[in-house]
């Protein structure tokens, strides 16, 4: 046996009670795990509002405005900003994901291929936000006289819709639809991912739809099909809702 | 300058399902075995609760998968186009690390139908040669179902697979699959109970005259001790299965069925972060002398070995053969050559089935494959294809595997993807939605193949495998036919609304939409060295001390999930090596 870290199942079962989960995390994934600061913020105990690390003030204004149109606040449940989606995205930009470690980013980049062949832009997630937000604010200012975050809600929705359709011509980003795909995906991630990543404050989205989070044990419900499951969500770090 | 290491009996390339089986069987036979795994070591403690239940890390970012920044494939739709890299994981997932895709599969543990194995001759006999399109290049496996049965059984025993038998020694049993091939005995463990979505599907299917049955599942339902003395525990329907490691020791994987025993063998050694770049050949090219690999620090090593087992993921098996110059590369223009030939995939369709608020589906209660109901009436050749003009088929599945909101939240048709209307629909429908899916075959075609990309390379400078693939009429017809049958069941389920995702004529293969990870072919098995790369035991026709295992052996893709067939072919090969090859090394089948 060549790997010292290997433990037999029997040994593992004996030790399981004292095992600290964090020591078993892969190094490559550790950057995904929250910092202590994120923990405080996600618990809602932070006295000061979240200060973005990656996004500039102008970009931050766009991000807050845009995500709150994608998932608006209303009586159904929290909006994106209330759920901490911008904070989630800012933190993701500092992770391996934000830096493009999950994507093949070697050239040449051939962008005039069918959309079905997938993302082909020479932008990591960080780079795409940086380039696209500047482009969108310029187009909004040229067309409407104001950057995106200063437009009224229905005009913002029109801009987002044209981004979604890929019909909004941008000065630098050749396929504006690609930015919309990323923005919407990241927004829903921040809304529905475990709160330890900075979004989904107080598991608000899980409570809204009825998802049980990391509960992940339904032995007692296996033969009660069709009956409403009675327990609320729990988070990976043990928050209960 | 590469360092040459001390020779060993066997070198295993890739420690996933097939590599773990071969390493174990050959270690049991007393061979000195070294396994080279390009990824990291993982045991079940890596999937501890609660961190295993993290949708962002595993389901979305894909922590268990290959980082595409280090290696990927390129894809194009036809031979005349330039291929572009698969830059983000979407359509299919590429595995990495010890355990490979065996860690993050769903456990759908199917056997092939008997006619899946003699698929060409069966269809020609029943429908005539003219029934098949001119460019369809399907072939027979060089092994019959009855010959393979003991090994399919052995792999089920390994996993403690749960199910309800439909055919034991030719006697049909109620509650099982009436179309399944003859089994010599029942499943190791009983089927898990149906989820609410599966119950509703099964009831509707029954009312339409079908015989629904529980999906065969390597999600163990009761404690099980397998042939290596490794124990699995019962599944609790946690809802975190596909894309996740199993924190309960319930899902069959190398970690839960083989590695605890294998790692204790003194004649077995595992080296992780050891990326094999080439299989080395003797001067005459007729014998493998070992492999060249690169470790985490970039140092290059040569590991000599008497026997080489190529057991990496399908696409990597094909690339290794091409890069090493073993076997004749396939030429789609002439149809000659074998390496890279007959790439295939699968074709799915899916219904979201939306009920009113009085129906509690509880979608988060689910297993990867347990708790799902199936009808198999329109798969393989279980029905007369004569009037319909296509071959192959799909099984139809009902039930939920989980309710993870980023991947599994459905909204009714017509609802926008964002905004207040989307949010209200998500809130109103999440708890009351189930799904019905068709899971279908894809045939082999002259123009669907794998070769080396002329432009793009991985982090080690090795060319990417290039996939040339698009849909064909046979598959559009197949999916339309089976999806319409599924639609009748969905309507019988009496939902408030349903949505449908289906590929139609003119739709290209879309690398952005997940379907299955079941990419197949490229080092296919057969009876003739002119039309296949390996014999029935996985042995290379050209280099007899090289055996290749995995879905790369499939001559075309069947409607079932592939792992059960892969496990059966692998055990058959492993026994042939132990019982025949080691006693008299050389070709096990005369060409």
- The pLDDT tens digits for A221-231 are 988 988 999 99
Percent over 90 (pLDDT), chain B:
99
Closest C-alpha to B141, from B356, B444, B404: B444
Residues near B44 by Cβ (< 8 Å), separated by ≥ 6? A9, A12, B245, B246, B247, B249, B255, B256
Contact (Cβ atoms closer than 8 angstroms) between residue B71 and residue B453: no
Residue-by-residue DSSP string for B343-384: EE--EEEEEEEE--TT----TTSB-SSTT-EEE-TTSTTSS-
Q: How far is CA B284 from CA A176, B287, B318, B326, in A?
A: 55, 8, 22, 12
CATH, domain range B3-581:
3.50.50.60
Lowest mean pLDDT of A78-92, A223-237, B106-120, B122-136, name the range: A223-237
Q: Are the Cβ atoms of B56 and A189 closer than 8 angstroms?
A: yes
Quote the mean pLDDT of chain B.
97
Searching chain A, which residue's CA lies closest to the CA of residue B40? A26
Residues of B in contact with A6 (CB under 8 A): 41, 43, 263
pLDDT > 80? residue B437: yes
Name the 3-class secondary structure at B437. strand
Active site (annotated) includes residue B518:
yes
Length of chain B: 591
Residues of B in contact with A128 (CB under 8 A): none
Nearest to B87 among A24, A104, A194 (CB): A104
Half-sphere exposure of B233 (CA within 13 A, CB side): 10
Nearest to B56 among A108, A120, A194 (CB): A194
Q: Are the Cβ atoms of A225 and B193 closer than 8 angstroms?
A: yes
What is the pLDDT at residue A47?
60
ipTM metric = 0.96
> How far out from the chain centre does Cα B157 lie?
18
- The pLDDT tens digits for B270-307 are 999 999 999 999 999 999 999 999 999 999 999 999 99
Searching chain B, which residue's CA lies closest to the CA of residue A229? B362
Return the domain boundaries, chain B.
Answer: 3-581
What is the pLDDT at residue B591?
81
User: Which one of B109, B122, B518, B575 is the catalytic residue?
Assistant: B518
Q: Which two tokens stand for residue A192?
A: 């529905």
**With 0-12 CB in 10 A as exposed, 13-18 as middle and 19+ as buried, what is B184?**
exposed
* B372-401 burial: b if 16+ Cβ within 10 Å, else e: bbbbbbbbbbbbebeeeebbbbbbbbbbbb
Q: How far is CA B17 from CA A54, B20, B98, B125, in A?
A: 42, 5, 9, 35
What is the pLDDT at residue A34?
41
Q: What is the rounded average pLDDT of the residues B538-562? A: 98
> What is the least distance, in Å, from the CA of A72 to any CA of chain B?
6
Torsion of CA B471, B473, B474, B478, to 10 degrees: 90
Q: Are the Cβ atoms of B512 and A115 closer than 8 angstroms?
A: yes
- The pLDDT tens digits for B504-530 are 999 999 999 999 999 999 999 999 999
> How far out from the chain centre does Cα A138 lie?
25
Q: Are the Cβ atoms of B69 and A105 closer than 8 angstroms?
A: yes
Q: Tell me the helix, strand and coil percentages in chain A, rounded to 5.
A: 50, 0, 50
Q: How many helices (H) and strands (E) does chain A have?
A: 9, 0
Closest C-alpha to A199, from A98, A91, A66: A91
The one-digit pLDDT tens for each residue of chain A (241 residues) are 333 333 333 333 333 333 333 333 333 333 344 443 444 444 445 568 899 999 999 999 999 999 999 999 999 999 999 999 999 999 999 999 999 999 999 999 999 999 999 999 999 999 999 999 999 999 999 999 999 999 999 999 999 999 999 999 999 999 999 999 999 999 999 999 999 999 999 999 999 999 999 999 999 998 898 899 999 999 999 999 8
**With 0-12 CB in 10 A as exposed, 13-18 as middle and 19+ as buried, what is B168?**
middle
What is the pLDDT at residue A26?
36
Residues near B257 by Cβ (< 8 Å), separated by ≥ 6? B158, B159, B160, B226, B228, B230, B232
What is the pLDDT at residue B185?
97
Length of chain A: 241
Contact (Cβ atoms closer than 8 angstroms) between residue B568 and residue B155: yes
What is the pLDDT at residue B310?
98
Q: Which two tokens stand for residue A140?
A: 């909004």
- The pLDDT tens digits for B53-102 are 999 999 999 999 999 999 999 999 999 999 999 999 999 999 999 999 99
Torsion of CA B63, B92, B403, A97, to 10 degrees: 30
Residue A214 at interface with chain B, using a CB cutoff of 8 Å: yes
pLDDT > 60? residue B196: yes
Residues of B in contact with A102 (CB under 8 A): 61-62, 67-69, 88-89
Sign of the CA dihedral running B481, B483, B487, B490? positive
What is the pLDDT at residue A11?
38
Query: How many Å apart are CA B190 and CA B220, to the nearest integer?
Result: 8
Helical residues (DSSP H) of chain A, grouped into ranges: 9-15, 27-30, 36-42, 57-70, 85-93, 125-144, 153-165, 176-192, 204-209
Residue A236 at interface with chain B, using a CB cutoff of 8 Å: yes
Nearest to A12 among B44, B199, B511 (CB): B44
Residues near A2 by Cβ (< 8 Å), separated by ≥ 6? B269, B270, B271
pTM: 0.94
Residue B579 backbone phi and psi in degrees, to 5: -85, -25
Grade residue B536 by pLDDT with cuts at 50, 70 and 90.
Answer: very high
Instruction: Show which of residues 60-99 on chain A sit within 8 Å of chain B, judged by CB atoms.
Output: 69-72, 74, 76-77, 97
């Amino acid at each position: 046996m060549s790997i010292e870290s290997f433990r037999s199942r029997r040994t593992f079962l004996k030790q399981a009670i004292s095992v600290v989960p964090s020591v078993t995390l892969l190094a490559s994934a550790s950057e995904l795990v929250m910092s202590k600061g994120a923990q405080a913020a996600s618990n809602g105990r932070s006295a000061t509002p979240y200060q973005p690390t990656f996004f500039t003030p102008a970009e931050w204004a766009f991000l807050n405005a845009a995500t709150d149109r994608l998932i608006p606040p209303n009586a159904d449940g929290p909006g994106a900003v209330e759920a901490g989606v911008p904070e989630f995205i800012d933190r993701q930009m500092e992770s391996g994901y934000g830096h493009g470690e999950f994507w093949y980013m070697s050239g040449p980049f051939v962008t005039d291929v069918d959309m079905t062949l997938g993302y082909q832009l020479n932008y990591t997630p960080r780079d795409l936000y940086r380039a696209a937000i500047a482009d969108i604010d310029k187009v909004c200012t040229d067309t409407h006289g104001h950057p995106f975050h200063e437009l009224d809600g229905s005009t913002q929705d029109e801009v987002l819709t044209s981004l979604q359709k890929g019909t909004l011509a941008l000065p630098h980003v050749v396929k504006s639809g690609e930015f919309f795909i990323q923005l919407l995906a990241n927004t829903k991630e921040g809304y529905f991912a475990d709160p330890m990543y900075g979004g989904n404050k107080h598991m608000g989205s899980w409570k809204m739809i009825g998802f049980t989070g990391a509960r992940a044990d339904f032995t007692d419900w296996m033969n009660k099909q069709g009956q409403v499951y009675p327990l609320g969500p729990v988070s990976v770090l043990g928050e209960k809702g | 300058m590469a360092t040459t290491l001390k020779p060993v009996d066997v070198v295993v390339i890739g420690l996933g399902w097939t590599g773990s089986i071969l390493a174990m069987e050959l270690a049991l036979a007393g061979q000195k075995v070294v396994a080279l795994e390009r990824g990291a070591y993982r045991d079940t403690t890596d999937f501890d609760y609660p961190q295993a239940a993290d949708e962002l890390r595993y389901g979305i970012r894909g922590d268990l998968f290959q980082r595409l920044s280090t290696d990927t494939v390129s894809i194009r739709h036809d031979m005349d186009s330039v291929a572009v890299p698969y830059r983000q994981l979407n359509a299919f997932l590429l595995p990495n690390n010890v355990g490979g895709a065996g860690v993050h599969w769903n456990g759908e543990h199917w056997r092939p139908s008997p006619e899946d194995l003699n698929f060409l001759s069966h269809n020609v006999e029943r429908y005539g040669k003219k029934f098949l399109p001119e460019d369809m290049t399907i072939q027979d496996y060089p092994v019959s179902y009855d010959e393979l049965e003991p090994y399919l059984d052995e792999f089920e025993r390994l996993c403690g697979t749960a199910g309800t038998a439909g055919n034991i020694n030719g006697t049909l049993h109620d509650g099982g699959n009436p179309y399944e091939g003859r089994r010599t005995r029942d499943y190791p463990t009983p089927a898990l109970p149906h989820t609410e979505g599966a119950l509703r599907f099964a009831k509707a299917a029954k009312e339409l005259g079908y015989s629904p049955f529980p999906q065969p599942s390597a999600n163990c339902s009761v404690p099980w001790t397998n042939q290596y003395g490794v124990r699995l525990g019962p599944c609790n329907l946690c809802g975190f299965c596909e894309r996740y490691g199993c924190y309960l020791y319930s899902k069959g994987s190398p970690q839960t069925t083989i590695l605890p025993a294998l790692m204790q063998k003194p004649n077995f050694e595992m080296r992780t972060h050891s990326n094999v770049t080439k299989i080395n050949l003797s001067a005459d090219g007729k014998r493998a002398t070992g492999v060249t690999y690169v470790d985490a620090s970039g140092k290059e090593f040569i590991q000599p070995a008497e026997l080489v087992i190529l057991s990496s993921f399908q696409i990597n098996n094909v690339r290794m053969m091409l890069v090493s110059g073993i076997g004749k590369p396939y030429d789609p223009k002439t149809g000659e050559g074998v390496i890279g030939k007959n790439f295939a995939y699968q074709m799915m369709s899916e219904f979201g089935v939306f009920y009113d608020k009085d129906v509690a589906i509880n979608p988060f209660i689910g297993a990867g494959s347990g708790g799902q109901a199936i009808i198999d009436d329109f798969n393989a050749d279980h029905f007369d294809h004569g009037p319909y003009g296509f071959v192959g088929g799909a099984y139809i599945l009902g039930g939920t595997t989980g309710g993870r909101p980023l991947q599994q939240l459905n909204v009714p048709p017509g609802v926008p993807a964002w905004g207040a209307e989307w949010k209200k629909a998500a809130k109103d429908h999440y708890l009351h939605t189930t799904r019905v899916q068709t899971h279908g075959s894809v045939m082999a075609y002259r123009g669907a193949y794998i070769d080396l990309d002329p432009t793009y390379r991985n982090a080690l400078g090795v060319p990417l495998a290039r996939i040339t693939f698009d849909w064909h009429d046979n598959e559009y017809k197949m999916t339309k036919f089976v999806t319409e049958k599924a639609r009748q069941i969905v309507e019988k389920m009496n939902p408030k609304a349903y949505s449908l995702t289906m590929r139609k004529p003119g739709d290209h293969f879309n690398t952005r939409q997940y379907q299955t990870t079941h990419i197949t072919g490229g080092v296919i098995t057969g009876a003739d060295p002119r039309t296949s790369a390996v014999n029935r035991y996985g042995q290379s026709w050209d280099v007899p001390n090289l055996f290749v295992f995995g879905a790369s052996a499939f001559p075309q893709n069947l409607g079932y999930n592939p792992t059960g067939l892969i496990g059966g072919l692998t055990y058959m090969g492993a026994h042939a090596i132990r019982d025949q090859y080691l006693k008299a090394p050389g070709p096990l089948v005369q060409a």
